[in-house]
Amino acid sequence: MKSMTGYGRAQEQRDGRDILVELRSVNSRFLEPNVRIARSYTYLEEELKSLLKTRVARGKAEIAVSVTLVDGKRADIRVNDEIVRGYLEAMRAYNMKALPGDQLCDDGDSREVRYMDWSTMVGLPDVFRIEKPQEDEDEIRADVLAVAEKALDAFIAMREAEGARLREDVEQRLVTIEENVAIVEKEAPRLTERYRERLLGKLTELLGSTQIDEQRILTEAAIFSEKTAVDEETVRLRSHIAQMREMLAEEGSVGRKLDFLVQEMNREVNTIGSKVQDVDITSVVVDMKSEIEKIREQIQNIE
C-alpha cells in the first residue's frame, strides 16, 4: 500500500550532460501527470508520463527534468561580429556629438571607444553566439529515462514508507472500533429488560393496586426490542472491518475501495445511533464516528 504523497530525486552525469530528475506528488482522485522540461526536449514528455503510469495509479504528480551540458566541446561559442560592430559604431556616433573635437584621436575614434575592454563588452546583450551541435535524440532519451527510473525508485520508496505508516494508523483505529462494537453488542440486549422494568414501574405508579396486564407489557417490550435491535448493523460493521484489513494487506491501488468501505461503516454506526437512545451507547457511537472520520482522513492519502 502506498501513499499518494511522495518525492524522489536522481542526478547523474551521462555523455557530457548533467541530468537531474525530480518527482513529487500530492493527493488526487486520478493520476494527473505533469512534466516540466526544456522546450528542446519536449519530445520526451509522453515517454516520461508513460514511465510514471507503469508504477503509479493515483496522485497529482510533477516530473521536473533539467539537462545541462558539462562538456565544453559540445558548444561552439563565437563572438557575434555584427553585434559588436554595431555597439562600437553607436558609441562612436554618440561620442562624436558629446565630446569636443580635441578629445578625438587622429583616426576619429574617441578615447572611450578605443579603450573599450572586454569586461564592458561581455555584459552587453547578444555579444556571443552559442551554437550547439546536433544532439543524438536516442542517446538523450536513453540517458534521461535511465535517470528518471532511479528518481522513480526513490519516489516509490517514499510513498511505500508513508503508506506503511498510514496502514498502521488505520489498523490501530480499527481495533478501537472493534472494541466499541463489542460494547454495543453487550449493552444493547439489556436495553429491552431496562425498558420493561421502566414500563412496569410507570404502570404500577399510575394504576396503583389495579391488576397490570403482564402480556401487554411483554408485547410492548417485544416491540421496543424490535425497534432497537442492532444485531444486523454490528454484524455488517464487523464484516466491513474484516474487509478493510484484507484490503490494507493488498498490493496496488486500494484507496477508492477503502473509501467506499468507510462510507458503509459510517452508515452502520449512524443507524446504531438512531436506533439506540441510550446515553452510554450514544457515547460509544460518538467515539466510533470519530475513529471512522480519522480513518477517512488517512484514506484520502492512500493510492
In whole angstroms, give the CA distance from residue 120 to residue 114: 12
Give the total residue count for the chain. Answer: 303
* pLDDT for position 228: 58
Report the 3 state secondary structure along the chain. Answer: CCECCEEEEEEEEECCEEEEEEEEEECCCCEEEEEECCHHHHHHHHHHHHHHHCCCCCEEEEEEEEEEECCHHHCEEEECHHHHHHHHHHHHHHHHHHCCHHHECCCCCEHHHHCCCHHHHHCCCCCEEEECCCCCHHHHHHHHHHHHHHHHHHHHHHHHHHHHHHHHHHHHHHHHHHHHHHHHHHHHHHHHHHHHHHHHHHHHHHHCCCCCCHHHHHHHHHHHHHHHCCHHHHHHHHHHHHHHHHHHCCCCCCHHHHHHHHHHHHHHHHHHHHHCCCHHHHHHHHHHHHHHHHHHHHHCCEC
* pLDDT for position 102: 47
* pLDDT for position 154: 97
* pLDDT for position 115: 47
* pLDDT for position 104: 47
* pLDDT for position 82: 84
* pLDDT for position 110: 46
* pLDDT for position 124: 77
Q: Which domains does the chain have, with CATH numbers?
A: 6-72+137-159 (3.30.230.40), 76-131 (no CATH), 162-299 (1.20.120)
Q: Which residues pair with 62 in a beta bridge?
A: 24, 34
Quick one: which of 270, 244, 21, 287 has its CA closest to 140? 21
| Residue-by-residue pLDDT tens, the chain, 303 positions | 899 999 999 999 998 899 999 999 999 989 999 999 999 899 999 999 999 999 999 999 999 999 988 865 556 778 888 888 888 787 777 666 655 554 544 454 444 444 456 667 677 788 877 766 677 899 999 999 999 999 999 999 999 999 999 999 999 999 999 999 999 888 877 765 665 556 555 655 555 555 656 666 566 555 555 565 678 888 999 999 999 999 999 888 899 999 999 999 999 999 888 887 777 888 999 999 999 999 999 999 999
